[in-house]
Amino acid sequence: MRRLLTLLAVLAIALLARGVLAETILTPQGPAEVFSRGGQFDLAEVLRLTGAEVQFAAAAGSYSAVLGQREVQFTPGGTLAVVDGRLTALPTPVRLVDGRPLGTAATAEALLSALGWTLRQGARGWEVAALGGGERLQVSVVRDAGGTLIVVRGTAQEPRVILTPGQVGLLFAAPVALAEPIRPDGELTGGELNGPLLTLRLKDGVAVSSSYALPDPPRYVVRLGGEAQAAVVPLAPARRAGPLVVLDPGHGGEDQGAKGPASELEKSITLAVARATAARLQAAGVTARLTREGDDGVSLGNRTALANQLQADAFVSIHANAYRGKAVRGAETYYMSVDASDADAAAAAAAENVDAAPDTVQLILWDMAHVANLNASARLARSIQERFNELQGIKDRGIRQAPFVVLTGATMPAALVEIGFLSNPADARRLTSATGQEELAGVLAEAVLAFLRSREPAAEAGR
Amino acid sequence: MSGPSRVATAVLATVVIACGKSPRPSGGAAQVATPEAVVMSTVTLFFPGDDGLLEREPREIADLPESGPARIRVILAELLAGSQNGRAPVLPWTATIHAAFVDRTGNAYVDLSAPPAGTVEGTATETALVYAIVQSVVANCQGVERVQLLFDGTEVTSLGHLDLSRPLVPRPELVAP
């Protein structure tokens, strides 16, 4: 009996410590239960309260919430979100706990506001509500000396304008309603409201020359005139014409990394080499992005998240090494380490979870996708290491595998290269000199280009 | 299961086991101290070598517990006490062993005092120190397959490079032939 009571007490303490709760959130449709733990909400469940379609996209390693024409993506483990194609920072990281993306109320609010909703705590508890509710739009046509204007009254929002042949779309950040149906009038032949998107249809040959917001009273004006525009302004970012590589200069900000004999900092060396490498890649027609442009502190998760969200063709993290023994020198390249047990577990979990929630299955598929990238990552690492070995005076420390944080989250071929030891005098001379850094960048760019050239044609066709 | 959940479960399991095996008072019977022979055991510890790989070092230990957290603590204490063959210390800071525990799935959790900022420089240093602990614990504690390092009682994502948010398996390629 005493043991049973002890067990029950321990279980109770453990459950309290884990803070497992179902939080009630008021919605326009009534109260809803949302998973919550330790003051953090299941972000997918919160976003679904708006009517958004929320899915985990295995290819990008991100959650995607779509409501009308608005889309927000966020990645577990990071503090970045993509709102309608633009990268934005979240207040706190999204954590993946038991297959659920958990985030603070502030993070939930940031994601909701991207969809035109808000999360607030009032006297009745937590509440999810549409932003700008009550805004009722009136659409009318006005003619002046300069031509014809379509005036949308009843809102102070500045919508995103989407031009397609024969019509103009106004995408509002917050849901809006039409005070009355849109009446055809001259160049305006009709229109309708679909969620936050107001579509205005135009007479053949009529185009939009400009659009702008005006105050007192708040209104949005679309001025018509000129030739019809053939070009379509797409909602989604244009597909890339060529390959994209994300280079990650290790460390940054308060995290200085290793130090050289004269206190040279690893974070400065990696940034210099990354910049020079990027310049060489750009010159060769490859788009190169850095995870940090200056001396910024970027979390390890966000570095990989950027590459995932850009769906980069390759990710290379650049570091300078250090060791207590000053004789240790040379370059070494790492690629992702996946324990055999991880792959087996993922496969077994996939087989056992045929009835699991879509998110769970997608997460498992994502894990398996990491495993599938192993071969390409190994080829990238080999390409890098082989070219570093050709450098005069460099010691070959080989290709290795290790569970580095920046590699385990990548959904594309990824490698981490240690370009030399700052603790070794000879290596440090190369690492800290401008000519040495250019030399290292040249080798690295050449290695990345060789890897991109070696990819199978199917990989290109699939882009 | 997520990292924190694993830790919580491991702690729970350890507490339950401890509760179940709590020794009862002997009922007042006098204990007679009897001289017992010291039993020596030979273990293999792993220390960072000159070239960055781990070097094996045999060590004789008296009255080594047969299994469980107590054995892990002794192995760790011997490891952190340093090499007897002049090799570099495993940790570049003076660390305290806060706790060690094992779950039922072969994961060992080792809780150490956290390193001061900027102490661990370079992947070579970090890899050597982390895997010196992983290799030493797994090689000498039957049933332990993976080791997760905790610092000051909490999980850490990394000391800068390696993913420490989950238990790590030994990597034989990091050990000198």
Q: What separation, in Å, do the N-terminal and C-terminal C-alpha atoms of chain A show?
A: 64
Q: Specify the pLDDT at position A5.
A: 62
How is A122-189 classified by DSSP, letter by letter? Answer: ETTEEEEEETTTT-EEEEEEEEETTEEEEEEES----PEEEEETTEEEEE-SS--EESSPPPPBTTEE
User: Considering chain B, what percentage of its residues have pLDDT values greater than 90?
Assistant: 53
Q: Which residues of A touch B20 (CB under 8 A)?
A: 3
Q: Specify the pLDDT at position B80.
A: 95
Who wins on pLDDT, A404 or A340? A404
Using CA atoms, how far apart are residues B82 and B57, in angstroms rounded to an integer?
Answer: 11
CA distance A287 to chain B (A): 26
Task: Determine the average pLDDT of the residues in A240-262.
Answer: 91
Asked if the model's pLDDT at residue A213 lies above 60, the reply is: yes
Contact check, Cβ <8 Å, B171/A319: no
Q: Specify the pLDDT at position A67.
A: 83
Who wins on pLDDT, B38 or A194? B38
Same domain, A256 and A369: yes
Q: Which residues of A touch B128 (CB under 8 A)?
A: 323
Same domain, A258 and A172: no
Q: Specify the pLDDT at position A8.
A: 58
Q: Specify the pLDDT at position B26.
A: 36
Query: How deeply is A329 buried, as exposed, middle or buried, from its count of CB atoms within 10 A (0-12, 13-18, 19+)?
Result: buried
Q: Specify the pLDDT at position A364.
A: 54
Decide which of A97, A130, A163 is a domain's last residue: A130
The reported pTM is: 0.59
Task: Determine the average pLDDT of the residues in A191-204.
Answer: 82
Q: Specify the pLDDT at position A238.
A: 39
Judged by DSSP in three states, A234 sits in coil
Instruction: State pLDDT tens for residues B20-75.
Output: 333 333 333 344 555 678 889 999 999 999 888 999 999 999 999 988 888 999 99
* C-alpha radius of gyration, chain A, whole number: 27
Chosen from B5, B121, B159 to mutate, greatest number of chain A CBs within 10 A: B121
Asked if the model's pLDDT at residue A351 lies above 60, the reply is: no
Who wins on pLDDT, B100 or A82? B100
Same domain, A220 and A267: no
| Nearest beta carbon to residue B122 from set A339, A402, A423 | A423
Decide which of A112, A130, A148 is a domain's last residue: A130
Domain assignment present for residue A445? The answer is yes
Among A367-371, A394-398, B4-8, B97-101, the least confident range: B4-8
Domain assignment present for residue A233? The answer is no
| Nearest beta carbon to residue B162 from set A6, A7, A404 | A404
What's the structural domain count of chain A? 3
Q: Specify the pLDDT at position A21.
A: 73
Asked if the model's pLDDT at residue A283 lies above 90, the reply is: yes
Same domain, A179 and A257: no
Asked if the model's pLDDT at residue A201 lies above 60, the reply is: yes
Who wins on pLDDT, A6 or B56? B56
Domain assignment present for residue A391? The answer is yes
Q: Specify the pLDDT at position A42.
A: 94
Please list the residues that pair with A23 across neighbouring strands: A34
Task: Determine the average pLDDT of the residues in B104-118.
Answer: 88
- Whole-Å CA distances, A236 to A82, A83, A306, B34: 12, 11, 17, 81
Domain assignment present for residue A238? The answer is no
Q: What per-residue string of b and e applies to A150-171 under the rule 16 or more CB within 10 Å gives b? A: bebbbbebebbbbbeeebbbbb
Q: Specify the pLDDT at position B42.
A: 95
Q: Which residues of A touch B2 (CB under 8 A)?
A: 96-98
CATH of the domain at A354: 3.40.630.40
Q: What per-residue string of b and e applies to B111-150 under the rule 16 or more CB within 10 Å gives b? A: bbebbeeeebbbbbbbbbbbbbbbbbbbbbbeebebbbbb
| Nearest beta carbon to residue B121 from set A3, A322, A404 | A322
Q: Specify the pLDDT at position A269.
A: 97
CB interface of A with B, residues 273-302, below 8 Å: 300-301
Contact check, Cβ <8 Å, B52/A325: yes
Q: Specify the pLDDT at position A10.
A: 54
Same domain, A417 and A453: yes
Instruction: State pLDDT tens for residues A12-63.
Output: 554 444 455 788 998 877 889 999 888 899 999 999 998 889 988 665 567 8
A21 and chain B: CB distance < 8 Å anywhere?
no
Q: Specify the pLDDT at position A234.
A: 32
Same domain, A328 and A426: yes
Task: Determine the average pLDDT of the residues in B132-156.
Answer: 92
CA distance B173 to chain A (A): 9
Q: Are A148 and A224 in contact (CB under 8 A)?
A: yes
Q: Which residues does B contribute to its contact with A (CB < 8 Å)?
A: 1-2, 4-5, 8, 11-12, 15-16, 19-20, 48, 50-52, 88, 92, 118, 121-125, 127-128, 157-158, 160-163, 165, 168-169, 171, 173
Q: Which residues of A touch B171 (CB under 8 A)?
A: 337, 401-402
Domain assignment present for residue A401? The answer is yes
Asked if the model's pLDDT at residue A352 lies above 50, the reply is: no
Same domain, A30 and A157: no
Task: Determine the average pLDDT of the residues in A356-385.
Answer: 70
User: Considering chain A, what percentage of its residues have pLDDT values greater than 70?
Assistant: 78
Contact check, Cβ <8 Å, B124/A11: no
Asked if the model's pLDDT at residue B104 lies above 90, the reply is: no
Q: Specify the pLDDT at position A9.
A: 58
CATH of the domain at A100: 3.30.457.10
Q: Specify the pLDDT at position A92.
A: 85
Contact check, Cβ <8 Å, A405/B121: no
- Whole-Å CA distances, A332 to A233, A275, A397: 46, 20, 5
Average of per-residue pLDDT values in chain A: 80
Please list the residues that pair with A244 across neighbouring strands: A287
Domain assignment present for residue A235? The answer is no
Task: Determine the average pLDDT of the residues in B95-112.
Answer: 88
Asked if the model's pLDDT at residue A170 lies above 90, the reply is: no
Domain assignment present for residue A190? The answer is yes
Task: Determine the average pLDDT of the residues in A451-457.
Answer: 81
Q: What are the residues whose beta carbons fall under 8 Å from the beta carbon of A416, sequence distance 6 or more? A: A316, A317, A318, A319, A333, A334, A335, A404, A406, A407, B123, B161
Average of per-residue pLDDT values in chain B: 81
Pairs of residues, one from chain A and one from chain B, whose beta carbons lie less than 8 Å apart: 102
Contact check, Cβ <8 Å, B121/A259: yes
Q: Specify the pLDDT at position A103.
A: 92
Asked if the model's pLDDT at residue B76 lies above 80, the reply is: yes
Same domain, A20 and A59: yes
Contact check, Cβ <8 Å, A319/B121: no
Asked if the model's pLDDT at residue A365 lies above 90, the reply is: no
Same domain, A361 and A448: yes
Using CA atoms, how far apart are residues B92 and A214, in angstroms rounded to an integer?
Answer: 64
Decide which of A115, A130, A145 is a domain's last residue: A130
Q: What are the residues whose beta carbons fall under 8 Å from the beta carbon of A60, sequence distance 6 or more? A: A73, A75, A308, A309, A311, A411
Contact check, Cβ <8 Å, B19/A6: yes
- With tokens 């027609």, the residue in question is A285
Using CA atoms, how far apart are residues A31 and A124, in angstroms rounded to an integer?
Answer: 11
Q: Comparing C-alpha atoms, which of A410, A237, A441, A444 is closest to residue A313?
A: A410
Contact check, Cβ <8 Å, A258/B92: no
- With tokens 């309608």, the residue in question is A84
Torsion region of A285: left, alpha or beta (phi above 0 gives left; psi -120 to 50 gives alpha): left
- Whole-Å CA distances, A97 to A65, A305, B2: 19, 18, 5
Residue B6 structure tokens: 């694993």
CB interface of A with B, residues 298-327, below 8 Å: 300-301, 319-325, 327
Q: Specify the pLDDT at position A313.
A: 93
Q: Which residues of A touch B19 (CB under 8 A)?
A: 3, 6-7, 10
Using CA atoms, how far apart are residues A10 and A77, in angstroms rounded to an integer?
Answer: 30
CA distance B86 to chain A (A): 13
The answer to whether ipTM exceeds 0.85 is no
Q: Specify the pLDDT at position A370.
A: 60
Task: Determine the average pLDDT of the residues in A161-174.
Answer: 75
Q: Specify the pLDDT at position A208.
A: 76
Using CA atoms, how far apart are residues A27 and A52, in angstroms rounded to an integer?
Answer: 13
Same domain, A297 and A316: yes
Containing structural domain, residue A393: 244-462
Domain assignment present for residue A275? The answer is yes
Q: Specify the pLDDT at position A323.
A: 94
Same domain, A390 and A360: yes
Q: Specify the pLDDT at position A94.
A: 87
Contact check, Cβ <8 Å, B171/A257: no
Give kind and range of the element (H or E) at residue A351: helix A340-352
pLDDT band at A110 (very low <50, low <70, confident <90, very high): confident
Same domain, A198 and A262: no
Residue A47 structure tokens: 């976003």
